[in-house]
Amino acid sequence: MLRLLGAWLIALALVLPVIAVAAEPPAILLAEVYRNQVDVAKYLVSEKLDGVRAIWDGNTLRFRSGKEINAPRWFIEGLPRQALDGELWMGRGSFERLSGVVRREVPDDGEWRQVRYMIFELPGAAGTFSERAEAMRQIVRLAKVPWLREIEQFPVVDRNSLQKRLKEVVKAGGEGLMLHRADALYETGRSDTLLKMKPWEDAEAVVIGHLPGKGKYEGVTGALRLRTADGREFAVGTGFTDAQRRNPPAPGTTVTYRYRDLTNSGLPRFASFLWVRQEP
């Protein structure tokens, strides 16, 4: 009887579907916003890339959510067994195209040949960030694959130098700068060890309605009515393509918008539509 029961259980296991267990989000360092609160001479600075965050544990490449990224085998096999943290990137202004490429269940080799894994951290590694930055340069040099690069880190002497570099990056089409404290040991969570600096901030909100267009936008969507997670409501009427105005994101969709700063009532000033959030 026991033998028959065991055989039945084995047969049942072979025909039942496998239920995939989602990985936990990896513990990583998250940036605070730069607001002149630190001595910038103690930081190393790099360009803030408009890519997709990707964490490599030595075996698997994952999104911030923990979900595995379906990269081609050759892309994965070219990475070292060292844990890495960085951005998948296709160049300035290419976020939407990149997002579509890296989220496909079946990767397209031709498109992935244009993706670079731009690393900026070594999770769990010893030493200061300056020492880890040098280690990243050596890892890239030894890997000898064109899709693995380190993001250049450079010092600045004061806030004027930092502002000048920000203007140069933005003028060239970049998104902003990142500041990482040079003497910091590796840590996770949100910390002013890592700061982001942009001429614009960005945030997410849910579409709750469409406002009709006027003038040249008569007959199509003029603006989206949005609601933030804390219940603030406002309209965004710029940043859309003609196609997006004809076929706007549906109510319930989460979108990303950018803004300059906040009003006294907490509403975004000069808000502009960026893109529809794509879940990993």
* Model confidence pLDDT, tens digit, residues 195-253: 999 887 889 999 999 999 998 899 999 999 999 999 999 999 999 999 999 999 999 99
Determine the Cα–Cα distance for residues 161 and 179; give it in Å rounded to an integer: 13
Span 143-194, pLDDT tens digits: 999 999 999 999 999 999 999 999 999 889 898 999 999 999 999 999 999 9
pLDDT at 126 over 90: yes
User: Which residues lie below 8 Å from residue 114, measured CB to CB, with a gap of 6+?
Assistant: 90, 101
Q: Kindly report the CATH number that applies to the domain delimited by 29-197.
A: 3.30.470.30
Known active-site residue 48: yes
Determine the Cα–Cα distance for residues 7 and 3; give it in Å rounded to an integer: 6
Look at residue 280 in the predicted model and tell me its pLDDT.
56
Taking the CB of residue 273, how many other CB atoms lie within 10 A of it?
A: 21
Look at residue 12 in the predicted model and tell me its pLDDT.
36
Q: How confident is the model at residue 22 (pLDDT cuts 50, 70, 90)?
A: low
The one catalytic residue in 48, 167, 171, 196 is 48
Q: What is the mean pLDDT of residues 52-76?
A: 96
Asked if residue 234 lies in contact with residue 268, where contact means CB atoms within 8 angstroms, the answer is yes
Q: What is the mean pLDDT of residues 99-125?
A: 96
Ranges of each domain in the chain:
29-197, 201-276
State the amino acid at position 83 in one-letter form.
A
User: Which residues lie below 8 Å from residue 91, measured CB to CB, with a gap of 6+?
Assistant: none
- pLDDT, the chain, mean: 89
User: How would you class 205 by CB atoms within 10 Å of its CB: exposed for 0-12, middle for 13-18, buried for 19 or more?
Assistant: buried
Least confident of 2-6, 91-95, 169-173, 265-269: 2-6
Q: What is the mean pLDDT of residues 17-29?
A: 65
User: Which residues lie below 8 Å from residue 19, measured CB to CB, with a gap of 6+?
Assistant: none
pLDDT at 1 over 70: no
Closest CA to 153 of 142, 137, 166: 137
Look at residue 20 in the predicted model and tell me its pLDDT.
39
Look at residue 9 in the predicted model and tell me its pLDDT.
36
CATH fold label, 201-276? OB fold (Dihydrolipoamide Acetyltransferase, E2P) (2.40.50)
The continuous run of DSSP H or E covering 5 comes out as helix 2-15
